[in-house]
Structure 1
């Protein structure tokens, strides 16, 4: 699993690579990339793709002028990602980068794949340079999850399970990602608080989805001050980065 110490995505890596490239999710990926571009904007230098998976979003980062660098714990996923961007095997809660070393970072469609997303955000804040940008983009915490009944589109009916922060395998597409690897739910307030308590300044939010019902939620944050309290780490890549 990206960003977790147990890479459960390994056994699903080939399926996921095909799934994200399939015609059936093409419009979804297009919305993801549109929203990512809207939040991150154009720039130059390294953009760290945290929990990069198969590298499905590297092309969009390149179109925006950034040089993507991916990190993920799943070697199975990185077998596909290495064809799309330089990569390193790493846990997202212990990134192998020095403090304040990258001008930009993103985490796309991965927040539900980690049990402690707040710890991931703290690590991202540590490695961001002062003035650096970080974009979170994921499933909408209010309308997508095991607590959300989407069987009668475009209606979404939310039940009290919205407050359940545990990992669940039910709900959603019966042939999709969640039934294979599960998902940790993070309510909207928890998600925003996790970001702002790292010292990152929230500057913009975005929602996107069909029929006026948001299925994606993202935000842009900016690091205002360097954080010198953590031990320095240096990124080390093998011949192929994996």
Structure 2
């Protein structure tokens, strides 16, 4: 099981992700979540739910959010916001085809094997169920991107580096504390398709001209309906038999 790196930072992260601290960033994030998830009912599995900071937008849409996370420290905070269970996102303790919706918010860089997590999400979704991914923009956020100039982002060759790192242009940010696994854009989308999910919508947003958030909605296809064979063609063929030689 993956080490819960957030346990040592759970109290700090709970404060960091509060609306008063996150401000405009949290507002944009939750607006994206509402638009991508849409209204519905039934369980909405919050995978890597952390402190439960993103449960309220799902609940406001009519869903019943339930959370799972590896970090016991974060679940102490989440338990007051939604029902939670401790578990590994790559081995979800749920039956096949059991939840109509799932979300993963700001956690793709916390999972060493996001493709495995996507396969698990696809497994537990009901046919027709939807999954919403929301994360930092894979093209512009990471150890490979320097935001120190604000209006100009410098991206270097480390974009191709998928290994975990604590390097960050911001030494006071989340990644300098807990590290991150970079998931390039192509890897993210290809892993979603390989899991058997169908991309329905993508979106990106930023406070300026460069997006810092990327999200998509993907759907688990319903089984194909068996095609019924009409008896009419056979009857027609029968009617068109050549006349006898009587």
Decide: shared fold, TM above 0.5: yes
Residue-by-residue CA offset, 1:136-191 (whole Å, 9 max, x unaligned): 00000000001011111121111111000011111132111101110000100000
C-alpha distance in structure 2 between counterparts of 1:39 and 1:45, whole Å: 17
Pick from 73, 78, 81: which aligns with 2:78?
A: 81
Task: State how 1:150-229 maps to structure 2 within 5 Å.
Answer: 150-225=147-222
Task: Check whether the contact 1:206–1:219 (CA below 8 A) recurs between aligned residues.
Answer: yes
C-alpha distance in structure 1 between counterparts of 2:93 and 2:109, whole Å: 22
C-alpha distance in structure 1 between counterparts of 2:75 and 2:55, whole Å: 12
C-alpha distance in structure 2 between counterparts of 1:49 and 1:173, whole Å: 27
Establish whether residue 60 from structure 1 lines up as the match of residue 57 from structure 2.
yes
Task: Check whether the contact 2:19–2:26 (CA below 8 A) recurs between aligned residues.
Answer: no
Structure 2 portions without partners, runs of 5+: 224-246
Aligned to 1:91: 88
Number of matched pairs: 223
- Between Structure 1 and Structure 2, whose CA radius of gyration is higher? 2
- TM-score normalised per structure 1: 0.90
Moved over 6 A (4+): none
Task: Check whether the contact 1:172–1:178 (CA below 8 A) recurs between aligned residues.
Answer: no
Aligned to 2:30: 33
Aligned to 1:111: 108
C-alpha distance in structure 2 between counterparts of 1:18 and 1:24, whole Å: 7
- TM-score normalised per structure 2: 0.89
Aligned to 1:229: none
